[in-house]
Structure 1
Amino acid sequence: MLGFGNKPGRANFVNRYRVRAGIRSLSTSTSVLVLCGGAVAGAQPEADIMAGYARDERDYTGPMLIERESTTTWENIRNAIGLIEPYDTIKIVSDPLHAQKGRRYLWMLRPDLAARLVRGRDYRFGELILLKPVAAVVGLVGLRRARRSGPR
């Protein structure tokens, strides 16, 4: 699961959404939740903030792997490769367009792993209905930029 800039403390609105989407995307009791994100908007890594939210507010008790160094989506994917390599099925979860950007980066970095990608459950009809048009515009601009100039 890809993080979003978060000041230390409680998970922000975007990261809470992403954690909920990540948890609902788990398919079996042996699935592992992988959280990515470094300290972008403060001293505490986003991945730790999301892990706390998953455990404390969503009662998630399953296995979890945490990547605490990345500061960009490209780094999220690059740094998660060692964590996701052992698994037969990989889901990149975020908001739908950000997840698409992450999947594109995985195809660029490791096509062999990207061949194991399946869709997560990061889209739910009617969810965040007022936020999605704004997120779509921002996401499309980001995808266009990634196609033209490479990873960011």
Structure 2
Amino acid sequence: MRRRSGVAVAGVAALAWGEWLNRRWSRALVGNSEGAAEAEAVVVLGFRNPRATANFINRWRVRAGIRSIAADSARGTRVIFSGGTAGSGRAEALLMADYAKSGLAFDGTVLLEDRSRTTWENITNVIPLLEDADRIKIVSQPAHALKARAYLRRRRPDLAERLVRADDYRPGEWMVAKPLLALYGLWTLRGLKTDERKILP
């Protein structure tokens, strides 16, 4: 009985830890999103996708990207799908855009960046599409999005000042997977500096 109780407590603790860490990452290196913005850019980062249609993770990222569009800037928002080709298939950006339009009936402004193969390339290649954005949101799993925000900060600190939170973290969403996502996130973020993980005032 005690063993079962111990396992249950450990399971709850792991879920709470994963939830807390993902929530913290979603709030790091972003500013205040209050106030109207004439031009908003929502950058959705692709995930390895050798299939002919968007896979589960890319479909979720598209949904998170679309729900990240602020109501006060919907008409001035562009959604940028970023991701190149995995193997001989179609570019991740194209697959995500197809899903947004055909699967979710999204009829807003869509831009494609279809050459990137790494997160660093994602950020490097979308920079020209962000120059006139008043507000920038980067969408992915929280650890990956934080890594991308840190890269933008390194490349273009002036654009990084326009970063605000995307709606890619919600309490309870992916809950069972969050401890694993947290462990993987710790590994992928090991190269970030302390000030690149901070929550801005």
- From 129, 148, 155, give the equivalent of 1:102: 148
Query: Which has the higher relative contact order, 1 or 2, with Cα contacts under 8 A spaced 6 or more apart?
Result: 2
Q: Deviations over 1:18-76 (max 9, x none)?
A: 10110000112221101100002442100000001111111111001100000000000
Separation (CA, whole Å) in 1 of partners of 2:191 and 2:142: 17
Q: Deviations over 1:80-111 (max 9, x none)?
A: 00011111110011111110000000000000
Stretch deviating more after TM superposition (123-132 or 46-55)? 123-132
Separation (CA, whole Å) in 2 of partners of 1:60 and 1:17: 14
Q: TM-score, normalised by structure 1?
A: 0.92
5 Å-filtered alignment, 1:129-144, equals 129-144=175-190
Separation (CA, whole Å) in 2 of partners of 1:41 and 1:12: 15
- From 16, 40, 54, give the equivalent of 2:59: 16
Separation (CA, whole Å) in 2 of partners of 1:139 and 1:31: 29
Number of paired residues?
A: 148
Separation (CA, whole Å) in 2 of partners of 1:55 and 1:115: 30
Separation (CA, whole Å) in 2 of partners of 1:87 and 1:69: 21
Structure 1 runs (4+) greater than 4 angstroms displaced = none
Q: TM-score, normalised by structure 2?
A: 0.71
State the 1:135 CA deviation.
1.6
Question: What secondary structure is seen at the aligned counterpart in 2 of 1:51?
Answer: helix
Q: Which residue identity is paired with 1:18?
A: R
State the 1:4 CA deviation.
0.4
Separation (CA, whole Å) in 1 of partners of 2:86 and 2:67: 26
5 Å-filtered alignment, 1:34-45, equals 34-45=80-91
Q: Between Structure 1 and Structure 2, which shows a larger proportion of strand residues?
A: 2
- Aligned twin of 2:47: 4
Identity of aligned residues (%): 50
Where do 5+ consecutive residues of structure 1 fail to align? 148-152
Report if the CA contact (8 A) 2:45-2:83 is conserved.
Answer: yes
Question: What secondary structure is seen at the aligned counterpart in 1 of 2:171?
Answer: coil
Q: Which residue identity is paired with 1:119?
A: R
5 Å-filtered alignment, 1:1-150, equals 1-27=44-70, 28-147=74-193
